[in-house]
Amino acid sequence: MQDDAEATKPEPPTPEAIRARADALRDAKRWAEAEAAYRDYLALRPRHWQIHVQLGHTRKEQGDPDEALEHYRHAALLAPDDPDPMLQAGHVLRNLGRGGEAAVALARALALAPHSADLRHVVALMRHRTLPAPDGPMLAPAPRPTGTPVQLAFDVTDLLDYLRAARTPTGIQRVQMGILGALLASPARPADVILVGFEGSTWRWWHVEEAAFRRVLTLSRLGGREDDPAWQAAIAALVTPDARPDAPIVAGCTLCSLGNAWGVQEYFRGLRRLRAATPLRYVAFVHDCVPLAMPEHCLDLTVRLYARWFAALSLHADGILANSQATIGDHARFAAPLGPVAPAGLIRLAAESGASPQAAAQAAAALPHPRPDERFVLFVATLESRKNHLMVFQAWLELIRQLGAANVPRLICVGRPGWRAEAALALLEGSPDLRRKISVVSGVSDLALAGLYGRCLFTVYNSFHEGWGLPVSESLAAGKLALVPAHSGLLEAGAPGALFFAPGDMPDLVAKLEMLLTDRAQRELLESRIDRAGARRDWPDAAREVLAALTSPAEAPQAPPFLPLGRHLPMGWRGEGLPSRDMAWAERVREGLAWWWQEDWGVWMRDGVATLALPADQPEGTPMRLVLELRGPPAPLALRLRARGRRVEAWRGVTLAPGETLRCVLRAEAGPGGIAVDLDNGDGVPLGDRFKRIVGAGLTGVMLCREDDLAARLSALERAEG
């Protein structure tokens, strides 16, 4: 009987079965049971390092990161050539607030898998803990290169951001794509031309593959659906910074942004880091100053971002490119209070009409509107308050009432709805007469747009302010009259033959529209006077002007700017509508990687060593005094500070209580480049916000003055008391 009992006793589960059960419990997030099952498995297979990693995961999910770390480290001992255990250890150490150890663990993981894009990204996020702390006196910046650049690097960061979300370019994107497409295809292009992007989260400039970029330009011009597999594959191959090498920028390069970098995170801090290692010139294209000239037609965030970018441009740009004399004038007017104005070069925009008429007509015929035999007027612009579609819609309604619906052609509006388009769209929706006579289409390719220009009666373009007005040039280049308001850059875009109406004058707009619709002879006479050759410029023409401006700079680079002495510099981003010197310098003085973004009250430092760089126009050895206004993080923080001027001063220690406001005075002798301050925040403390930031001290204000400037010292004392 005993033998029978032993024969029917169930076999113990195999290690594979135990592991399968543990994995199922893990997938069901039954962490305690999964832990027990993984321990049973390891009792049989103690050297299976992947299961030690899984056991670490179960402990982490149960709120025990310290024990999880021990399991990850044990797995690393068992598998010293695999990066995963050290990667997991690095994540846990970071969450434990042990940033220095985390950075070391992640660097070890990357050393084991140097081609892993994901690991490169993670390690780059921790570079503020792996880079050596700055040391030595505060030196003057290297002089900017002069003469012909040895390399041209075109920054396409904002264009790639746009193409990630949209296929059909508008406005500034069309300008960038036109100029760069022509430049890259030109047999006369300089030998060393590269495309680069900036990744703000990792402060890294990366090399954009030219072949992938040109393919995307071709597909974008052809138009089509954004979910088209060919488009999606082309975009995926292009916008992958972590999979691409660092940008091969060399000393003597000119870096040029043809777009708008005002929305790119940490852009100028990234530029300063690049310049510190590689002397270069920086040139930016200013397309318009609309957020400063007419902030009421922009998002509040757009105004704030643009003002901060424009202010910082005054301290970073060696030159400016602009699309019109009007934009050059706007730039000079808003930049004058900020200091010396960078020299500006004029690049008139292109309005090429080289598409095959037959192909363009076929592409336009595929659009939902207009019908093949229908008369229409064309309005090409994003539907937003600045373009004032509302006024044109009201004018169309007045024409219907005056002339009768049968005598008023369809208005085709090409553009997607944008900021504050509600009023115009509400009028369109609420009026049956307008719904029968106005069509809004978006996602129109360049080819189809050329077909619409070829078929329309004329075009209308209404706007409160423009840097140029590309649709006006395109209309005239196609031989079609453009009716536009007489202001800003539209006066230059429309110079080859546009018909102007008084800005904002509804009766004048209606009268001129009525004339163009009812007096064919007069319309054809005005059309015959269009200087099509003057309006038509191929993109290669604009590209040649860009190259000429970049390769033959008109003036030598300006001397590096100096921080105004003796005045309080607020470090917060208070959302002023106009750029200011304080706004520019609050961006400029933050050096290195150990800073978070600016907030209304000031800016948090990160864990590790944050640096302030305060260039001063003072003889070396001049006694200087620096006042820092500090704010304590949510937990007590031991902070070390030191000044570096002519020499490196000794570290000082202060303790910040949670939320405490503290003013700290440092003294040093000016170095060749002024004064630098290092602030060592150690491992920092959790801020407890939704971004899970680790922070050091906060900085609300800075003041640098000569030690003998008693008025500035008294002012700082009064601030401390009041």
Which 3 state secondary structure label does DSSP give 331? helix
Q: Count CB atoms within 10 A of the CB of residue 711.
A: 9
CA distance 346 to 321: 6
Q: Which residues of the chain have pLDDT under 50?
A: 1
CA distance 74 to 230: 46
Secondary structure (DSSP) of 216-259? HHHHHHH---TT-HHHHHHHHHHS-GGGSPBP---TTEEEEE-S
For residue 406, give every residue at least 6 positions away whose Cβ sits within 8 Å of its Cβ, in sequence order, or none. none
Domain 569-721 has CATH 2.60.120: yes
Per-residue model confidence as pLDDT tens digits over 596-631: 999 999 999 999 999 999 999 999 999 999 999 999
CA distance 449 to 352: 12
Lookup: tokens for 697? 């001290």
Provide the β-strand partners of residue 676.
613, 644
Contact (Cβ atoms closer than 8 angstroms) between residue 491 and residue 326? yes
- State the Rg of the chain over Cα: 31
CA dist list (Å): 45 to 16, 359, 447, 563: 10, 69, 65, 65
DSSP at 140? P
Residue 694, H or E segment = strand 694-706
Q: Count CB atoms within 10 A of the CB of residue 541.
A: 17
- pTM for this model (two decimals): 0.90
CATH of 151-346, one of 3.40.50, 3.60.9, 3.30.70, 3.30.565: 3.40.50
Question: 195-205: string of b/e by CB count within 10 Å (b at 16+)?
Answer: bbbbbeebbbb
Residue type, 12: P
For residue 537, give every residue at least 6 positions away whose Cβ sits within 8 Å of its Cβ, in sequence order, or none. 348, 349, 350, 351, 352, 473, 477
**Angle (nearest 5°) at CA 208 between 205 and 214:** 155
342 closest CA partner among 55, 144, 178: 144
CA distance 676 to 134: 10
CA distance 437 to 406: 10
310 closest CA partner among 585, 584, 590, 588: 584
Domain spanning 357-533 has what CATH number?
3.40.50.2000
Q: Sheet of 280-286: strands edge to edge?
A: 204-208, 193-199, 151-155, 253-257, 280-286, 319-322, 344-346
Place of tokens 């900021």: 419
CA dist list (Å): 199 to 116, 152, 302, 526, 654: 17, 19, 20, 50, 35
Residue type, 416: R
Place of tokens 């031989």: 479
DSSP at 95? H
Contact (Cβ atoms closer than 8 angstroms) between residue 220 and residue 167? yes
Contact (Cβ atoms closer than 8 angstroms) between residue 382 and residue 416? yes
CA distance 653 to 642: 9
Q: Count CB atoms within 10 A of the CB of residue 361.
A: 18
**For residue 4, what pLDDT is reported?**
54
CA distance 707 to 349: 53
CA dist list (Å): 593 to 187, 238, 315, 609, 697: 40, 26, 19, 9, 15
CA distance 101 to 582: 37
Q: Count CB atoms within 10 A of the CB of residue 244.
A: 20
Domains 357-533 and 569-721 share a fold: no
Q: Count CB atoms within 10 A of the CB of residue 534.
A: 13
Provide the β-strand partners of residue 705.
625
Domain spanning 11-130 has what CATH number?
1.25.40.10
CA dist list (Å): 234 to 184, 217, 228, 516, 584: 18, 10, 10, 44, 38
Residue 269, H or E segment = helix 267-277
For residue 554, give every residue at least 6 positions away whose Cβ sits within 8 Å of its Cβ, in sequence order, or none. 319, 343, 345
Length reported for the chain: 722
CA distance 551 to 196: 18
**For residue 21, what pLDDT is reported?**
95
Secondary structure (DSSP) of 280-293? EEEEEEE---HHHH
**For residue 354, what pLDDT is reported?**
64
With the CA atoms of 213, 216, 218 and 220 taken in that order, what torsion angle do they form, in degrees rounded to the nearest 10?
A: -140
390 closest CA partner among 413, 356, 407: 413
Please report, for the chain, the start and end positions of each structural domain, with discontinuous segments joined by +: 11-130, 151-346, 357-533, 569-721
Q: Count CB atoms within 10 A of the CB of residue 18.
A: 21
- Give the helix, strand, coil percentages of the chain, each rounded to 5: 45, 20, 35
CA distance 477 to 530: 8
CA distance 203 to 92: 23
**For residue 555, what pLDDT is reported?**
67
CA distance 599 to 610: 17
Contact (Cβ atoms closer than 8 angstroms) between residue 53 and residue 85? yes
N-terminal to C-terminal alpha carbon distance within the chain: 96
**For residue 1, what pLDDT is reported?**
47
CA dist list (Å): 310 to 280, 331, 333, 349, 440: 20, 9, 12, 22, 34
CA distance 374 to 409: 8
**For residue 278, what pLDDT is reported?**
95
CA distance 334 to 497: 30
Per-residue model confidence as pLDDT tens digits over 318-344: 999 999 999 999 999 999 999 888 889
> Is the omega angle on the peptide bond into residue 12 within 30 degrees of 0, that is, cis?
no
CA 646 to chain centre: 37
CA distance 119 to 42: 28
Which 3 state secondary structure label does DSSP give 350? coil
